[in-house]
Amino acid sequence: MAKPIRSGSDLMKRNLLLFAGFSLLVMLAPQFFRGGYLMNVLVFVGINTMLAIALNLLLGYAGQISLGHAGFFGLGAYLSGIMTTTFSMNPWEAMPVAALVVGCLAYLIGFPVLKLKGHYLAMATLGLGIIFFIIFNETYEWTGGPSGLSGIPNLQLGSIVFDTDVKNYYLIWGVTLAVMLFSMNLAQSRVGRALRAVHDSEIAAQVLGVNARHLKVQIFALSAIICSLAGSLYAHTMTFISPTTFGFNFSIELLTMVVIGGLGSIYGSFLGAALLTLLPEFLRGANDYDIIVYGGLLVIMVMYMPGGLVRGIPALFRKIVKREAESGNA
């Protein structure tokens, strides 16, 4: 028997419903945590979700790796920071300017760099990240060097100043939800399909008229813009930034979030970002052994959930339900 084909609008309705439910949960979360330290951590979950999505668009959809995304994150943070302190610009104006500058830069870098494939692309983007890191450290008349840049103003909307964890939570998550919706729309569109096509078979995509080279550069620039936006928001909520946040380690951490969460899934990026941000907090009790537990968990997860959390958790759930049913029948 032929399986009925789900129409596009049915699929869209289901996705929108899922997203509405997720947004509601995000918006209600502060009610459960009532301020407290965890609110601060959840702000970071939001920022990391944005960054993981940015990298996932590039890696999970277009199949192009980057080990330098912390650099774009840092660039956004520093540009916003410098423009609002040294040049006393309004943060709302500084953010888009920073994003635009980072986007243009990524676009220009993307043309030569994205000609490379596989390990070579990884090396080139790794180098890019290191260059940014060195710039943050060495141009101390602008960035404050290793001792950082402080006194960055908070964002302000009318009389509301975003200076507490709860206010920042709503600010960051408002933007994060917008980025999620934006990315999911993109993934389900002609451009998203072309990206995945390039990932699966570049030659077949080209034969069908997809300009693979330009598309890769476009998505690289978009990815950098999202990173820059996250960086600006980070700078304005923390009010202090220093280079160590934007080093090579963080690029690797982002990569881990994307892979653990699930390549090519926007909710996966959220799960990965949430897990890797929350886990260290919960492992504090393990004192010095936390890093071993943390590393061990990652190894186990990659071994048993190669599709990431977003595919692994439902599979695990189905397995448990099945086992329950079987033991119930016995």
Partner 1 sequence: MLELSGITQIFGGVTALDAVSFSIAKGDITGVIGPNGAGKTTLFNIISGIYKQTAGTVLLEGKNVSGFSPERLARHAMVRTFQNIELFGGMTVQENVMVGMHTKSSSGLLACALRMPWSSAEERRIREGAVKWLEFTGILDLAEHAAGSLPFGKGRLLEIARALAALPRLILMDEPAAGLNSQETVALAQLIKRIRDLGITVVLVEHDMELVMDICDRIVVLNLGRKLAEGTPREIQECPEVIAAYLGDDD
**Nearest in space to 270 (alpha carbons), one of 55, 57, 48, 68:** 48
By beta-carbon proximity to partner 1, the closer residue of 62 and 77 is: 62
Within 247-266, the residues that bind partner 1 by CB under 8 A are 264
Q: Kindly indicate which of the ranges 65-73, 76-84, 118-126, 184-192 contains the residues binding partner 1, using the contact rule CB under 8 A.
A: 184-192
Quick one: CA dihedral 293, 296, 298, 304, positive or negative? negative
The candidate with the shortest Cα–Cα distance to 258, out of 269, 274, 271, is 269
Instruction: Report helix, strand or coil for 27.
Output: helix
Q: Counting Cβ atoms within 10 Å, is residue 209 exposed (0-12), middle (13-18) or buried (19+)?
A: exposed
User: How many residues bind partner 1, per CB under 8 A?
Assistant: 36
The DSSP line for 255-294 is HHHHHHH-TT-HHHHHHHHHHHHHHHHHGGGGGGGHHHHH
Is 183 a binding residue for partner 1 by CB under 8 A? The answer is yes
Q: Which lies closer to partner 1 via its Cβ, residue 8 or residue 158?
A: 8
- Residue 66 CA to residue 50 CA, distance in Å, equals 15
Asked if 81 touches partner 1 (CB under 8 A), the answer is no
107 binds partner 1 (CB under 8 A): no
The nearest distance, CB 235 to partner 1, in angstroms, is 25
Q: For residue 311, what are its two tokens?
A: 């595919």
Residues between 261 and 290 with contacts to partner 1, criterion CB under 8 A: 264
Which residue lies nearer to partner 1 by CB, 185 or 256? 185
What's the closest the beta carbon of residue 105 comes to partner 1, in angstroms? Answer: 18
The least CB distance from residue 323 to partner 1, in Å, is: 26
- Residue 291: how many CB atoms within 10 A of its CB? 11
- Residue closer to partner 1 by CB (options 148, 174) is 174
Q: Does 302 bind partner 1 (CB under 8 A)?
A: no
Q: Which of 142, 182, 248, 294 binds partner 1 (CB under 8 A)?
A: 182
Nearer to partner 1, 200 or 326 (CB): 200
**Is 179 or 238 the residue whose CB approaches partner 1 more closely?**
179
- Please identify which residue in 27, 105, 116, 191 interacts with partner 1, judged by CB under 8 A: 191
Interface residue with partner 1 among 148, 174, 193, 313 (CB under 8 A) is: 193
Cβ-based nearer residue to partner 1, 207 or 330:
207
Contacting residues for 44 by C-beta, under 8 A, at least 6 apart? 277
Q: Which residues inside 194-223 make contact with partner 1, applying CB under 8 A? A: 194, 196-197, 199-201, 203-212, 218-219, 222
Distance CA 329, CA 324 (A): 9
326 lies in the site for partner 1, by CB under 8 A: no
The least CB distance from residue 118 to partner 1, in Å, is 18
**Whole-number Å distance between alpha carbons of 49 and 85:** 27
AA letter at 231:
G
Cβ 103 to partner 1 shortest distance, Å: 12
Q: 113 and 125 in contact (C-beta within 8 Å)? A: yes
C-beta separation of 182 from 31 below 8 A: no
Nearest to 184 by CA among 255, 251, 254, 268: 268
Q: Is 189 near partner 1 (CB under 8 A)? A: yes
Distance of CA 272 to the CA centre of its chain: 9
Residues in touch with partner 1 (CB under 8 A): 2-3, 5-9, 182-183, 185-186, 189-194, 196-197, 199-201, 203-212, 218-219, 222, 264
